[in-house]
Structure 1
Amino acid sequence: MILPIIPYGAAVLRLVCQNITPDTPGLSQLITNMWATLERAKGAGLAAPQVNRPYRLFLVTAIDFKAVFINARILEYSEETNIDTEGCLSIPGIWEEVERSQSILLEYQDEHFVTHTCTFSGDIARAIQHEYDHTNGKLYLDYLPALRRSLLKNKLQDIAKGKIKAAYPMKVL
């Protein structure tokens, strides 16, 4: 089932999300639905708060890479950074340059609650950092200079009010 994506301005996108357990009701179906939603939206990642679930859960996909991240914690950020353009399914139509660490050391659980500690780099590390931020109530816009955020204010207000149409289902809360 395709879930509606929650747009910028919703309180759930600013929550520090809760850890989840294998007992979390409907978790398997939620993950299945999130994959379907991500595919429909043609995105690189999707976090549970973006579908109105305050859980520490996100998905990342790329060429030859597809993973579920549960209760993730970034243990280390590399000093080496890079700047690249990012967008967000909750903020359709806005793309901005964001500086992120080139690599990260991440501890997480997969969909079977097996714990992993892995280093990720490049585009995968960027996508993980972006989605991880969602589970901590942070958006990529928070990395932009105040002046740039100010210039985006009207577009962001339109998104929050549902005045912007996306190529996928959205639901203003």
Structure 2
Amino acid sequence: MPELAAVRVRPLVHSTARRPVRTPHPHHPAPVPATEPRHPRHPRAVCSPPHGSHGDLATRFALRLVEVLTGQRPVGQLQRHTTVPAYQQLTALVRTGPLRPTGRHAQHRLGRVHDSAPLPGSLEVCVRVEYGPRHHMVAFRLERHRRTEQWQCAAVEAR
């Protein structure tokens, strides 16, 4: 019977010279060293509007517009904040639109207001409105007036 040869086992040596050098992936940031404290991630911070956004303006005007469309505010209150064609659209929506009041009084609730600025000096906004058992969409366009630099509603649509 042949003798088993003694096998020499080399101890595992953890040497940095033998490790492959890893380059950071272009889409993933380099890991934070253990010496720095880790800051919690806030995924909604990435989606938040940039500084100087007109989100507050869009939200305030959306609320006033929905109050007019549901009959809680008179349409004349938005006359100076709209262009002539938009005011005509607004009055037509008040008379025959989907948000006109019915026999019973229902409360409306605004969803998240989505705004985008396709061009400098213009803002396109849409908002979902819960009105009674139904949900509706209201979209409008705000534009800066050339002389006064005030925001005016240039178009309104509701479904």
TM, length-normalised to structure 2 = 0.23
Point out the structure with the larger helix share. Answer: 1
Which has the bigger relative contact order, CA under 8 A and spacing at least 6? 1
TM, length-normalised to structure 1 = 0.21
